[in-house]
């Protein structure tokens, strides 16, 4: 239990004495008391009663002081191990003792002493442990502040040796205020120690080592005084310069009411970094420097904004033990919070631990960030500032940020809700800056002989203007630290440059740079070759995407390293070479590349970016050609993921040079800045044909594979732009193909293991893809994936993400870099290149998310749920701006941002509201319209003044966004001829509306003309469920209940792409990226798919003979050569039993096929149909045989030929069975009458009996010749019998039922002889016997196929391969195989002999089976996981791309026939190079 506060006890005591009010000072307040306005206050003399009260207070005060002194002395004793605290407590005791008799306000002294006693008692047990807490951190600053306050108190108390001056009201008030400040500081120490125990300190030390040091990965080079700072010649201000600016900064630090953020900005060269260096030195000396990060574009790590938060958190953890404790707790509870996006990262590793430890953080603690404008990613910079400005106001520390006044920084620093303190260095008065520069130059040129005159210094200072960089560059040029030069001659050269009449600072800097470069390019001392090398080196430094080392530059440019070093030595005034092994070369100031890349400014030294990037592109290709080879890092096994390779980092360092990595990462970045020349074209083609897969290895091993896709996309766009009219069509196709190949690899889980570029990605590549054509012949021993499904590229998804619910909305970000999906109570944003989640939120206690929309400026995302709630997030900071917005009584809102991103409109039910997207306040509305249905859409017009609303009751409104009034008469878009409205989309410019009706007809309306301008667009087989326009409104995308997606040309109405097939249920939402190259779709099948949309050729899917609908029946011809499938869409397909390819064009009927059967001579196939007929076709000619048999009044559910070929029987839901003579087609006798629907019929081997199963669970055995019932109704099943089959050589039959069991029956007695057997796989839809009658094959709901022992009923093999109900099974004539057909749209051939034979499994090894198993069974095989990996534990065999997973062949399943054709795969392990032998798959070795 917490002790009672001292303040409370004093208050109670004094109240009893009648002192309920204590003048200006409130109990517990730390405020400075008000001072008297009268110079000579004359209080009234006290009464006798008052004197008695004062005496009582003094007595209590004496008693309180004694207790306080005791507590403080104990604290002093316990602080023996921490001398700074011991000294401070000793001084405090002395000061309190001195003060107790001289402070006039005795009740305040009593209260103060009581509070100190309470504090000392709490802190005493922990005093000795504070010594281990930190050195120079938060505790040191607290002790320092206490000593400062005590020093001032002691000075005042001793002043005048206790003369009357101490009784002055001002002194009393000031002393009390300082004591209160001391009490507050001590309590900060209390807060710190109560957040941790001594044991916890040890744990925190371990956590710091194990967690922070290992996972935060701070950038040490970014510290102001790092070794890198010395290398780049960073330094503090010259003594006595910039004093006013530094004083202003110190004042801001110490001002408790000062802004939480101070922005120091100035143009390039104004000395920002130097000032901050000196400021950091002062902060560190004063124990106030919490953390610092000096950004630099010359360093990749210092220029990566993602490193700032991690580095600051790391430094904070060392500054404050309390912060460290809270940060470690968060690391234990949340996985890798530092790896999240910048917004979440800042929240978890800085803001939250700071908030929880704020009571232990001293006032005036500062974080410094310099040169924020030099971070490489502009959008990331904006994001960081948003995060900072959001959190800064509530954190116990302050931030100092310095940068150029770049637009993105200026915009975020001028946020309306928070303004920082600001200093513009370029606005500082010229004379002050000039004086400081003069002092700097005097110091910098002091060692020069002869020393420059004061007139020379004055002249240089005037020329510098406000640019310290000018002065610094002059100093480095005239008087370099290393190297002997003629300083006087150089100074004379600088002073001899004629100033321009315009006297602009930029011109002064330009003249200086030109002078320095003239010296470096001295034609009188350098040969032409040397001059060329200096130019080459200089321009490479300028054009490099990231800084190079000297050795990198030597390799990239193919020139000796000593020539590089020599060239750099001539450029030391403007470039810097870092000392040590890294030797990074960088510019000294950002103004230098600006100068060189501007021909008007740099003149003879101009760096032509196009020409030099062409040179660098060639160089990158050359390096890759020399250094790339197969198995770059000698990976030993393809079974392992890269992350499990223990010495991978060492392998990477040993085998991938920094020059090669640079070339692999940036060849495209240089290429896209070039012109398309024949030599560049040749290099590009050679790379694509011979080095592509090795390049992928490098990028994947170094975790840059997602950027590889972007490099290829950028190259493809550049190539199309530079080669108009498709002048290099073959190269263009190759770029499309490799882009697709890399995208599929990088978006899938395959990227987890680099060897699977070859083991998995290449075998599953389409045969028409140039990657396959270029590289397959160079390999052997890989999986051979064949069949018609791989012949031609199809419109399949390149990325598939399975989620936990139906996807209701998908949308692309305006820049196309990310996409969002709304489902359940979740909104996710994923990166387009990697597929990784960059934003995710789970909303508690809410209905499903139905609407998701990005703001046009890409800064916000809004979501609406089924119950009418609306949320708005800031994307960059991941913060919730408003939650939840709701108009009472609304539901299922439709949302639209205004074009300026300021407003958000919502339409729900009959209510429209317009919200402020930054605050969530209602700007206008709510407005009422007619009540609508589910299908609605709205959008702001481009000027944001109006709202276009298309309601679900087929009305189009144009509304005033401020008043909600109709600006024109609403018009009706009803089309009663084609049905009711099912989907709506508004074009981005709001000029058109696309609507779909009824069974799939799409029309496009012109809003202004109020008439249809295009339609009907007909391509889907059923209702259209989703529509979306492209960014420019030229294309329209449609998705349907038929699970396909199509793209239409709005102008012509032609279908230009599709169908895109990959979903298995209704398409719920669609979006096209802003550049039109990618398509995102969401579906009720719980998945989100990403698709490539080609623009180089017609994107129409090539016709492919495959399964075109649900499979309801399969059959195997008795000659063993053919397999047939009957489909729900009325198609009967006939396939080769050897390879699964179509042997004849499909037969078509007008209604679903319910059952099929081959004639015994295999020449005819007959089908029972939904429309009550039995239809037969000649398998050889494809012609229909005679007219369809009629006679049933309901659908025909089953057909069967008698084994002797003389009869055909059909069973129907009309409860009858009809037997016909095959030669005449005539009915034999009367229909056989069942007592319920007939689901299945089967002949006995002798052809004299017929077995039938009914929907009520009954079974009958009939005499075929007489039509009499032999047995029946036979009862044994509790629910419908879906399938019956007769044994080929035994007097028995089997039945499968809806009651999930199988039963064996005697044909002699009609009695059950075995069963019922429950395989625990669900409803039994189909059964058949093996040819030797020893086994029963059964198809179940959900996709399982089981092989059971016919006598015992035990399961011999349980097979999972199908993903939906197995409707039919049939055995091959030789009994070695069987075929299964499923509602998942696939037909699979299985090897029955191997599945059920231990010896066969041993003799037919498969990579799916683990090695070393003595008695293998099918249950031992590897599993195929949702991410496409087929694996056994940690052994990863291979990976299948999304489009092949449903058609994947399994062990003992050599052929699969699916919607896209046939797939067959040989998994024989004896022929494959995988696992430890994978590196043998490359024929040509290393190709060095």
Write out the DSSP string of 117-147: HHHHHHHGGGGGGGGGT-SSSHHHHHHHHHH
Q: Give me 926's structure tokens.
A: 């709510």
Q: What is the mean pLDDT of residues 825-836?
A: 88
Name the β-bridge partners of 1024. 1040
Dihedrals φ, ψ of 906, to 5°? -130, 145
Which range, of 304-318, 1267-1281, 1461-1475, averages the lowest pLDDT? 1461-1475
Cα angle, residue 28 at apex, residues 27 and 34 outer, rounded to 5°: 65
Report CA Rg, the chain: 41
**For residue 970, how many other CB atoms are within 10 A of its CB?**
14
Q: Which range (183-197, 958-972, 1275-1289, 1321-1335) has the least confidence?
A: 183-197
**Region 99-104 average pLDDT:** 55
pLDDT at 626: 95
Tell me the pLDDT tens digit for each residue of 1290-1305. 999 999 999 999 999 9
Report whether pLDDT(64) > 70: no
Please state the length of the chain.
Answer: 1488
Task: Kindly state the tokens that stand for 956.
Answer: 């189009």
User: 1100 pLDDT exceeds 70?
Assistant: no
Distances (CA, A) of 508 to 194, 601, 946, 1387, 1396: 60, 11, 53, 79, 89
Write out the E strands in 560-628: 575-577, 585-587
pLDDT at 256 over 60: yes
HSE (side-chain half, CA atoms, 13 Å) at 452:
28
DSSP state of 1114: E
| Structural tokens at position 117 | 């006693």
The pLDDT value recorded for residue 773 is: 94
C-alpha–C-alpha distance, residues 1291 and 1306, integer Å: 6
Q: Which of 1100, 1042, 1030, 1035 is nearest to 1067 (CA)?
A: 1042
According to the model, what pLDDT value does residue 158 have?
65
Token pair listed for 159 = 């002043």
Structure tokens at 1286: 């007769």
Is residue 709 scored above 90 in pLDDT?
A: no
pLDDT at residue 684 above 90? yes
C-alpha to C-alpha distance for 1229 and 1210, rounded to whole angstroms: 14
pLDDT of residue 417: 59
Of 332-336, 902-906, 926-930, the least confident: 332-336
Of 912, 915, 883, 893, the closest CA to residue 902 belongs to 915
% residues pLDDT > 90 (the chain): 36
Higher pLDDT, 1372 or 838: 1372
Is residue 765 a contact partner of residue 741, using CB atoms and an 8 Å limit? yes
Judged by average pLDDT, the poorest of 678-687, 771-780, 957-966, 1264-1273 is 957-966
Average pLDDT over residues 901-923: 88
pLDDT score for 62: 60
Does residue 1111 contact residue 1368 with C-beta atoms inside 8 Å? Answer: yes
Task: Say whether the peptide bond before residue 926 is cis (omega within 30 degrees of 0).
Answer: yes
CA dist 918 and 882 (Å) reads 8
Contacts of 164 (CB under 8 A, 6+ apart): none
Rounded to an integer, the average pLDDT of 14-27 is 33
Average pLDDT of span 1215-1227: 93
Residue 755 has pLDDT above 70, yes or no: yes
Phi/psi of residue 879, nearest 5 degrees: -90, 145
Beta bridge partners of 239: none
Distance CA 969, CA 951 (A): 14
Cβ proximity of 1336 and 1348 under 8 Å: yes
Neighbouring CB atoms inside 10 A of 963's CB total: 11
Residue 5: which pLDDT band, with cuts at 50, 70 and 90? very low
Task: Give me the pLDDT at residue 718, please.
Answer: 92
Q: Which of 97-101, 691-695, 1044-1048, 1450-1454 has the lowest mean pLDDT?
A: 97-101
- The pLDDT tens digits of the residues spanning 1026-1038 come to 999 998 889 999 9
| Better-predicted residue by pLDDT, 1270 or 1363 | 1270
Residue with the larger pLDDT of the pair 1021 and 1421:
1021
CA distance 1137 to 1119: 10
How crowded is the C-beta side of 317, counted as CA atoms within 13 Å? 30
Q: What share of the chain in percent tops pLDDT 70?
A: 81
Does residue 18 surpass a pLDDT of 60?
Answer: no
Decide if pLDDT at 384 tops 90: no
C-alpha distances (whole Å) from 1317 to each of 226, 1279, 1326, 1331, 1336 are 76, 14, 14, 21, 11
pLDDT at 724 over 50: yes
pLDDT digits (tens, 9 = 90+) for 416-444: 656 677 877 656 666 667 777 888 888 88
Chain segment 892-906, per-residue pLDDT in tens: 788 999 998 889 998
Task: Calculate the alpha carbon distances from 1377 to 1137, 1201, 1330, 1452 in Å.
Answer: 10, 21, 9, 9
The predicted structure's pLDDT at residue 1246: 94
In angstroms, what CA-CA distances link 851 with 542, 551, 811, 870? 47, 54, 10, 9
Quick one: pLDDT at residue 726?
A: 62
User: How many CA atoms within 13 Å lie on the side-chain side of 161?
Assistant: 0
With a cut of 80, say whether residue 1421 has pLDDT above it. no
User: In this predicted structure, what is the pLDDT of residue 454?
Assistant: 84
Confidence of residue 463 (pLDDT cuts 50, 70, 90): confident
- pLDDT one-digit tens code per residue, 73-85: 776 777 666 677 7
Facing residues of 1205 across strands? Answer: none
Query: Measured between alpha carbons, how far is 572 from 485 in angstroms, rounded to an integer?
Result: 12
pLDDT at 208: 47
Cα gap 1142→1165, rounded to integer Å: 15
Angle of helix 550-557 versus helix 609-627 axis, rounded to 10 = 90
Q: Where are the beta strands (DSSP E) in 1245-1322?
A: 1249-1254, 1259-1263, 1269-1274, 1281-1286, 1292-1297, 1301-1306, 1312-1318
Q: Please, which pLDDT band fits residue 1096 given cuts at 50, 70 and 90?
A: very low
- Whether cis (ω within 30° of 0) applies to the bond prior to 1316 is yes
Q: What burial class does residue 580 get, using C-beta atoms within 10 Å of its C-beta: 0-12 exposed, 13-18 middle, 19+ buried?
A: exposed
Q: What is the largest CA-CA distance in the chain?
A: 138
The reported pLDDT for the residue numbered 416 is 61
Q: Per-residue pLDDT for 19 more than 90?
A: no
Instruction: Kindly report which listed range (20-24, 122-126, 619-623, 829-833) carries the lowest average pLDDT score.
Output: 20-24
Specify which of 517-521, 628-632, 788-792, 1391-1395 reaches the highest per-range mean pLDDT. 628-632
């Amino acid at each position: 239990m917490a002790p009672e506060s001292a303040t409370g006890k004093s208050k109670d005591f004094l109240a009893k004495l009648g002192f309920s009010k204590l003048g200006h000072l409130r109990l517990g307040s730390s405020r400075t008391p008000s001072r008297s306005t009268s110079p000579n206050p004359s209080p009234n003399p006290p009464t006798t009663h008052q004197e008695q009260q004062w005496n009582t207070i003094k007595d209590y005060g004496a008693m309180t002081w004694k207790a306080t002194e005791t507590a403080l002395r104990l604290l002093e004793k316990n602080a023996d191990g921490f001398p700074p605290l011991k000294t401070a407590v000793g001084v405090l005791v002395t000061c309190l003792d001195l003060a107790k008799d001289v402070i006039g306000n005795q009740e305040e002294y009593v209260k103060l002493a009581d509070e100190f006693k309470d504090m000392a008692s709490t802190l005493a047990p922990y005093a000795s442990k504070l010594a281990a807490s930190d050195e120079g951190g938060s505790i040191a600053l607290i002790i320092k502040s206490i000593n400062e306050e005590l020093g001032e108190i002691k000075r005042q108390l001793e002043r005048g040796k206790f003369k009357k001056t101490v009784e002055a009201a001002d002194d009393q008030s000031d002393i009390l205020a300082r004591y209160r400040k001391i009490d507050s500081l001590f309590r900060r120490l209390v807060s710190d120690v109560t957040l941790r125990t001594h044991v916890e300190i040890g744990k925190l030390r371990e956590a710091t080592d194990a967690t922070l040091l290992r996972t935060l990965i701070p950038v040490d080079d970014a510290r102001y005084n790092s070794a890198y700072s010395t290398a780049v010649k960073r330094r503090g201000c010259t003594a006595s310069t910039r004093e006013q600016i530094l004083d202003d900064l110190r004042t801001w630090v110490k001002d408790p009411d000062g802004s939480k953020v101070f922005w120091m900005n100035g143009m390039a060269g104004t000395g920002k970094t130097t000032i901050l260096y000196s400021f950091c030195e002062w902060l560190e000396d004063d124990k106030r420097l919490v953390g610092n990060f000096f950004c630099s574009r010359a360093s990749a790590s210092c220029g990566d904004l993602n490193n700032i938060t991690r580095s600051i958190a790391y430094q904070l953890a060392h500054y404050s033990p309390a912060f460290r404790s809270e940060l470690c707790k968060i690391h234990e509870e949340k996985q890798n919070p530092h790896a999240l996006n910048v917004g979440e990262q800042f929240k978890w590793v800085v803001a939250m631990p700071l908030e929880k430890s704020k009571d232990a953080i001293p006032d005036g603690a500062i974080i410094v960030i310099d040169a924020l404008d030099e971070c490489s990613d502009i959008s990331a910079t904006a994001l960081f500032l948003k995060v900072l400005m959001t959190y800064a106001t509530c954190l116990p520390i302050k931030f100092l940020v310095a940068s150029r006044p770049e637009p993105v920084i200026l915009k975020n620093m001028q946020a309306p809700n928070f303004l920082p303190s600001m200093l513009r260095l370029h606005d500082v008065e010229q004379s002050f800056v000039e004086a400081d520069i003069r002092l700097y130059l005097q110091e910098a040129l002091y060692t020069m002989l002869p020393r420059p005159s004061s007139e020379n210094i004055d002249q240089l200072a005037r020329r510098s203007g406000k640019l310290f960089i000018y002065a610094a560059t002059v100093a480095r040029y005239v008087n370099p630290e290393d190297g002997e030069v003629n300083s006087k001659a150089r100074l004379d050269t600088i002073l001899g440059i004629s100033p321009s009449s315009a006297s602009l600072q930029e011109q002064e800097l330009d003249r200086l740079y030109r002078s320095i470069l003239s010296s470096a390019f001295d034609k009188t001392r350098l040969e032409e070759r040397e001059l060329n090398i200096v130019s080459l080196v200089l321009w490479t430094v300028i054009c490099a995407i990231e800084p190079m080392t000297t050795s990198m530059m030597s390799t990239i440019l193919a020139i000796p390293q000593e020539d590089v070093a020599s060239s750099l030595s001539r450029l030391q005034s403007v470039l810097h070479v870092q000392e040590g092994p890294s030797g990074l070369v960088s510019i000294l100031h950002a103004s230098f590349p600006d100068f060189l890349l501007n021909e008007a400014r740099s003149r003879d030294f101009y760096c032509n970016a196009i020409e030099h990037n062409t040179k660098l592109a060639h160089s990158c290709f050359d390096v890759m050609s020399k250094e790339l080879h197969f198995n770059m890092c000698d990976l030993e096994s393809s079974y392992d993921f890269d992350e499990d390779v223990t010495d991978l980092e060492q392998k990477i360092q040993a085998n991938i040079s920094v020059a090669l990595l640079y070339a692999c990462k940036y060849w495209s970045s240089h290429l896209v800045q070039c012109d398309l020349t024949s030599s560049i074209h040749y290099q590009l083609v050679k790379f694509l044909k011979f080095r592509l897969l090795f390049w992928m290895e490098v990028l994947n091993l170094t975790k840059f594979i997602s950027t590889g896709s972007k490099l290829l996309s950028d190259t493809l766009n550049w190539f199309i732009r530079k080669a108009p009219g498709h002048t290099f069509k073959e190269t263009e196709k190759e770029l499309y193909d490799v882009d697709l190949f890399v995208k599929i690899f990088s978006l899938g889980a395959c990227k987890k293991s680099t060897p699977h570029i070859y083991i998995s990605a290449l075998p599953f590549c389409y045969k028409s893809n140039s990657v396959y054509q270029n590289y397959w012949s160079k390999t052997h021993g890989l999986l051979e994936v064949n069949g018609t499904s791989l012949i031609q590229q199809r419109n399949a998804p390149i990325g598939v993400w399975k989620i936990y619910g139906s996807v209701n909305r998908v949308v692309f970000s305006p820049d196309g870099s990310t996409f969002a999906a709304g489902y359940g109570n979740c909104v996710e944003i994923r990166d387009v290149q990697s597929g990784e989640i960059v934003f995710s939120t789970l909303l508690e206690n809410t209905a499903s998310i139905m609407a998701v929309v990005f703001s046009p400026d890409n800064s916000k995302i809004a979501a609406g749920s089924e119950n009418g709630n609306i949320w708005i997030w800031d994307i960059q900071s991941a913060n919730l701006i408003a939650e939840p917005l709701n108009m009472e009584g609304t539901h299922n809102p439709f949302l639209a941002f205004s074009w300026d991103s300021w407003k958000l409109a919502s339409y729900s039910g009959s209510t429209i509201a317009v919200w402020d997207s930054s605050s969530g306040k209602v700007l206008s509305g709510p407005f009422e319209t007619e009540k609508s249905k589910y299908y609605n859409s709205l959008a702001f017009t481009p000027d944001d003044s109006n709202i276009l609303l298309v309601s679900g009751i087929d009305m189009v409104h144009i509304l005033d966004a401020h008043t909600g009034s109709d600006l024109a008469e609403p018009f009706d878009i009803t089309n009663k001829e084609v049905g009711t409205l099912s989907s709506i989309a508004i074009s981005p410019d709001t000029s058109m509306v696309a609507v779909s009706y009824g069974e799939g007809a799409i029309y496009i309306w012109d809003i202004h003309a109020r008439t249809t301008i295009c339609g009907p667009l007909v391509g889907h087989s059923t209702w259209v469920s989703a529509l979306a326009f492209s960014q420019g409104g030229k294309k329209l995308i449609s998705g349907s209940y038929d699970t396909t997606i199509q793209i239409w040309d709005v102008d012509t109405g032609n279908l230009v792409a599709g169908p895109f097939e990959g979903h298995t249920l209704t398409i719920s939402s669609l979006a096209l990226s802003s550049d039109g190259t990618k398509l995102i779709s969401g579906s009720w099948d719980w998945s989100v798919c990403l698709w490539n949309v080609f623009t180089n050729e017609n994107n129409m899917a090539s016709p492919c003979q495959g399964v075109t609908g649900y499979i309801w029946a399969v059959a195997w011809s008795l000659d063993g050569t053919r397999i047939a499938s009957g489909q729900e869409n009325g198609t009967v397909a006939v396939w080769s039993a050897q390879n699964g390819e179509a042997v004849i064009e499909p037969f078509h009927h007008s209604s679903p096929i319910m059952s099929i059967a081959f004639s015994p001579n295999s020449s005819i196939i007959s089908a029972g149909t939904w429309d009550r007929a039995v239809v037969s076709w000649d398998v050889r000619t494809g012609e229909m045989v005679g007219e369809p048999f009629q006679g049933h009044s309901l659908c025909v559910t089953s057909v069967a030929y008698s084994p002797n070929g003389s009869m055909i029987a059909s069973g129907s839901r009309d409860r009858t069975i009809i037997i016909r003579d095959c030669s005449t087609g005539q009915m034999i006798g009367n229909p056989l009458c069942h007592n319920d629907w007939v689901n299945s019929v089967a002949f006995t081997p002798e052809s004299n009996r017929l077995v039938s199963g009914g929907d009520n669970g009954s079974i009958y055995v009939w005499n075929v010749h007489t039509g009499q019932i032999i047995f029946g109704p036979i009862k044994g099943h509790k629910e419908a019998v879906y399938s019956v089959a007769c044994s080929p050589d035994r007097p028995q039959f089997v039945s499968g039922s809806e009651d999930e069991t199988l039963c064996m029956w005697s044909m002699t007695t009609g009695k059950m002889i075995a069963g019922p057997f429950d395989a625990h796989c669900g409803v039994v839809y189909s059964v058949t016997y093996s040819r030797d009658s020893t086994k029963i094959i059964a198809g179940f709901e959900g996709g399982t196929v089981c092989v059971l022992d016919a006598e015992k009923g035990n399961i011999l093999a349980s097979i999972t391969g199908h993903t939906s109900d197995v409707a039919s099974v049939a055995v091959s004539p030789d009994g070695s195989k069987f075929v299964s057909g499923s509602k998942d749209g696939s037909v699979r051939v299985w090897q029955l002999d191997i599945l059920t034979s231990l010896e066969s499994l041993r003799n037919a090894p498969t990579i799916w089976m683990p090695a070393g198993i003595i008695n293998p069974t099918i249950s031992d095989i590897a599993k195929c996981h949702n991410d496409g990996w087929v694996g056994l534990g940690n052994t990863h065999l291979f990976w299948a791309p999304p489009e092949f997973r449903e058609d994947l062949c399994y062990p003992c399943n050599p052929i699969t026939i699916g919607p896209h054709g046939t797939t067959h795969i040989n998994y024989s392990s004896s022929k494959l190079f995988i696992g430890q032998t994978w590196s043998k798959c490359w024929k040509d070795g290393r190709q060095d």
